[in-house]
Structure 1
Amino acid sequence: MLSPVTDPDGAPFWEYAARGELRVQVCAGCAEPRFPPRPCCPHCRSFDSDWRPVSGRGRVWSYVVAHPPLLPDYAAQAPYNVVVVELEDLPRIRLVGNLVPAPGAPLNSLPPDGIRIGARVRVVFCDGGLPQWVLA
């Protein structure tokens, strides 16, 4: 499994995820949420930010099923899904992950025909904080 590459702006996301918390960066100046994390608010240009906890509930906004050829570390797990989840609390924020039947399940453990646009999901965490999604 690949490890996330962190930078100063995104590191808090992964620190919270490692504790089992889903948080989104929010501008401390105008309260606009932003993802991916970045140093400056695109709305008011403030450099101040906070990290707001979110419910972890959402819906499948889009998805793809990956087939070989892939990166060598993932080829043995193919075919597997990658979903884009629109957060219930912050509908303009969309996160990418995998839809699995249970936390820590293999990426290829959910048949592709079990995925639907609009399906309700909730976040789960595995492997020290990697966000994944399960059907709600």
Structure 2
Amino acid sequence: MRERTVKKNALKVLAAVAVVAAGGVALSPAASASTASSPCPHNQICVFENAGFHGGYKFYHRGTNVSTFNTLEQVFSNRVLTNDKISSIVNNTNRWITFYSEAGFKGRYLRVAPHAYVKDLDSYHFNDVISSLDG
């Protein structure tokens, strides 16, 4: 029921375009709006265990920083640890969000623009490698 409500109230999101920049990847909104609706509530950063916004999920408020996903508090809705298990992302906030391949905001990074999403992190060689979040 909650998932149905979340989907019903979700905003439409913009398609993402990759831009390689300084050792990381930045995703910005495309010129035209996507007709796909987001499974992520307004002002939330949502991470999903599987591509296509499937599997376990975890939502974070805008401005949240997670120095490591390798803790017992950082689990998906299905109780699976989120560290190195994130496969799709929705940034339904008005700020850029940065995900890092290493704990402590280090390593390769992926920047996701406001109101953008990544349906499959594998297409950016970032599937199952995320260890920290600067929201």
TM class, shorter-length: under 0.3
Kindly name which structure, 1 or 2, has the bigger radius of gyration based on alpha carbons.
1
Larger strand share, 1 or 2: 2
